[in-house]
Structure 1
Amino acid sequence: MYETKLAHVHATTPPIFWCPNIYPGGTGAWVVRRSEYLKEVYADDDLFTKKGFSGFAQFIGEDWSLVPTELTGEPHAQVRRTLNPVFAPAKMFSLDDMVRNRARSLIATFKDRGHCDFVSEFAVPFPVTIFLDLFGLDQSQIPQFLSWEHDLLHTTDMNARIKATHEVKKYLLDAIQARRENPKDDLITYALDYEFDGKPWTNEMVYGYCFNLFVGGLDTVTANIGLHLYHLAAHAEQQAELRADPAKLTLAIEELLRAYGAVTTYRTVTREVDFHGVKMLPGDKVAMSTSLAARDPEAWDHPDEIRFDRKPSHLTFGSSSHRCLGMHLARRELLIAMQEMLASLPAFELDKSQPVPFWMGSIIQVRKLPLVWQV
């Protein structure tokens, strides 16, 4: 159980410690495990910059930014003012029918079978189908997108990462050019009308925005859905509680987001600083683990207990000015997925004859989730 590993880290390490191989590419970074300290890192965009944190541009010898994620200061603020209304709660609510139809179509393929691998049959394809819809792309692209997602985010093979970055860049630039020639009702076309400093976004900005949504909108949703369904499959009493009162789902998901924080992002220190007794130097990387913050015993009373009435103010979507742009869409996807699974299937549980493997990387995931139920 990975929560046991997180508890061990909290019990045996200082609030900030050096890990020699945590940063992508196998180099070191400072790990901030305390939730309150992590909030300070999020809030100080000048000292702890997000510029270039993903490394994708650097992998291929370039210097573009994920938009808005890797922008800082006023450019970031200006772009967020443009994009926040696009991803506002009301806009995301308007997508419910589309999201629900995608969920139902995937569940229909296994609900009468009595068993499934929830990860490969739902958690992985679900956000990809929605991404393709929002970008006006053909659903036949799912296998290619999943291959790129794996090579960008789930391998230590740097050659594979570099190759995937080149291929995704070419694909997205081609899609952007296609929208310039033949506009559609989709997120790529909308971005062609956005302005920065009174001028249309450059092709590089539009591309950086599309790449950002690609890497941010697929894997993190997959991770969270898998972890949440893993919890309900392993805790029959809490699954029964939500079946008896579906109105509890909204708060339950917030607690599951808190308890199963899945993502570690990174910042770069811009100047020498003594940060809570730790000397950090310019260029040092800082690993910001929402997984550790989620189980911080100094932030949460009995952090390993899942309480659907806790109403947590968690860091799963980040904090401060860089709070996740797509969090409202992610919440709708998580809620609808849970609603449809509970409505479509009888009580499900883990298939005890099969293991549940976890991927312990920058995005913690259940790699396979074998579920069974009576039909």
Structure 2
Amino acid sequence: MATAPASTLPSHVPPELAVALPLYARKRVSECPQETLIPEMHATLPPICYVTNIFPGDQPGWLVKSYEDTMEMLRDPDNFTKNGMGKWAQNINENWLVIPTEADPPIHTDYRKALNPSFAPQKMSALRDQVRERAQTLIAKFKDRGSCDFVDEFSEKYPINIVLDLLGLPQERMEQFLVWEKEMLHTNDWEVRGNAVRQVKNYLLEEIEDRRKNPRDDYITRIFDFEVDGRKWNEDEVFGHCFNLYLGGLDTVTSLLGNIFCFLARYPERQAELRENPGKIVLAVEEFLRAFAPVTAFRIAAKEIEICGQKVMPGEYISVATPVTGYDPTYYENPQEIRFDRKAPHISLGGGIHKCLGMHLARLELQIAVEEFMKSLPEFRIKDGFDVSYFVGNIQHVPELELQW
């Protein structure tokens, strides 16, 4: 673990707590972080440390590594704000919020009241056949070939198909959407990130304006009827919510799928367990969510506060490091063991008032993907001669995954 020069640290940060972590290097590595880097962090780091490269652009923030300490923060929106947390608008010198992700109470409550019915479990369950058809269509293109590029041919396309259907956006624009997504989420270059944000914003504003002039039976059109504080949503709120769905719908499930299927390909006995007992898949997905959570998000200290005995100043970032909390040995028994009967809670889809809006859809997508691969393909493995690499950063993922059967 690299340490940071004391001369660059704020005065309240003890030098012994400052570190640059390999988990946030934003590069490809050959070792599986869930098997090496993350357990090492739990073994060697204090409960809280000041990580100089934890935010994109190698910006600093506090890493809280335990489940309980993180949950305490998630339950306290008064002291830990999300307002502007992702720096999406700030990066292009604007001030809109990603809705509801960057909103705080009390207005956050009104946003969720308007949004929750559209993402309720029964609503998402009604999409089951549509989601399954999307998975089956993609698998059919390669199942008789004996191999596939899992990321390119399945995990990138599958969730975006579903989100584009939901929003009423054209499937033929998928390749461009994926380019923008990678430029926003998988780069350490703030200029590249900002240019992608502008392009996504311009595109979504065009679609929103088109719905105002030509209403359709789709989700974007329905947003115009949402209310907050007794009024219709304004332009920034409509756009901010569309931007949220674009961000959340395009990447998280893709990253989870890559990690899950890499694990199943590397450990055929675990794959066989699900093939022989498909009834385990629902609980297995919850364990996969714990073990392969990809996202390190953040809260911002709203005032001077103490966490784990350390002073944190207003405006400083504190991590919601789901890849790390899922391996907390003080909360989970043998966290490195992937157990399909664990039934343990996790915060991989958020916690507190900011529980992921799309969590029921994400679970459905993951369950159906595993089910359909088990039904449609024989035992698969890492393709002969292919070396798996892992991207470490704010979104842990497998950039490429060649499978064969």
In which range does the TM-score fall when normalised by the shorter chain?
over 0.9
Query: Does 1:127 find its partner at 2:159?
Result: yes
| 1:167 counterpart = 2:190 | no
| Residue 336 in structure 1 maps to residue 368 in structure 2 | yes
Q: Offset of 1:104 from its aligned partner?
A: 0.9
SS at match of 1:111: coil
Please identify, of 180-189 and 9-18, the stretch whose mean Cα deviation from structure 2 is larger.
Answer: 180-189
The correspondence for 1:225, drawn from 222, 238, 257, is 257
**Match status 1:236 vs 2:258:** no
1:2 corresponds to 2:33:
yes
Matches within 5 A, 1:279-298: 279-298=311-330
Q: Partners in 2 of 1:361 and 1:187 — Cα distance?
A: 32
- After superposition, the C-alpha distances for 1:51-86 in whole angstroms (9 at most, x for unaligned) are 111111001001100000100011001111111111
In structure 1, the residue matched to 2:337 is 305
| Counterpart for residue 186 of structure 2 | 154
Q: Aligned equivalents of 2:217 and 2:323: distance in 1? A: 37
Aligned partners of 1:23, 1:347: CA distance in 2, in Å? Answer: 39
Return the match for 2:390 from 355, 358, 362: 358
Match of 1:214 in 2: 246
Q: Which residue among 219, 232, 247 is the counterpart of 1:200? A: 232
Q: Take 1:274 and 1:133, find their aligned partners in 2: how far apart are those partners?
A: 45
Structure 1 vs Structure 2 CA RMSD: 0.9
Does the alignment pair 1:28 with 2:68? no
Please, what TM-score do these two structures have when normalized by structure 1?
Answer: 0.98
Which runs of 5 or more structure 2 residues have no equivalent in the other structure?
Answer: 1-31
Which 4+ stretches in 1 moved above 3 angstroms? none
Counterpart of 2:29 in structure 1 is none
Determine the structure 2 residue equivalent to 1:271: 303
Residue 119 of structure 2: SS of its match in structure 1?
coil
1:190 maps to which residue?
A: 222
Q: Match for 2:90 among 39, 58, 82?
A: 58
Structure 1 residues 281-318: Cα deviation after superposition (integer angstroms, max 9, x where no partner)? 01111121000001111010000001101112111011
Say yes or no: does 1:111 pair with 2:106: no
Q: Which amino acid in structure 2 is aligned with residue 167 of structure 1?
A: Q
- Distance in 1 between residues matched to 2:202 and 2:343, nearest whole Å: 43
Distance in structure 2 (CA, Å) of the matches to 1:179 and 1:270: 37
- Once the two structures are superposed, residues 190-222 of structure 1 have per-residue CA deviations (whole angstroms, 9 ceiling, x without a partner) of 101101122111111010000001111111010
**Which residue number corresponds to residue 377 of structure 2?**
345
| Alignment counterpart, residue 129 of structure 2, candidates 76, 97, 116 | 97
User: Displacement, 1:352?
Assistant: 4.0
TM-score by length of 2: 0.91
Q: Secondary structure of the equivalent of 2:53?
A: strand
Identical-pair percentage: 47
Structure 1: gaps of 5 or more residues = none
What residue number does 2:45 align with?
A: 13
- SS state at 1:261 partner: coil
Instruction: Compute the displacement of 1:25 (Å).
Output: 2.2
2:288 and 2:112 mapped to 1: Cα distance? 27
Q: In structure 2, what residue type is equivalent to 1:211?
A: F
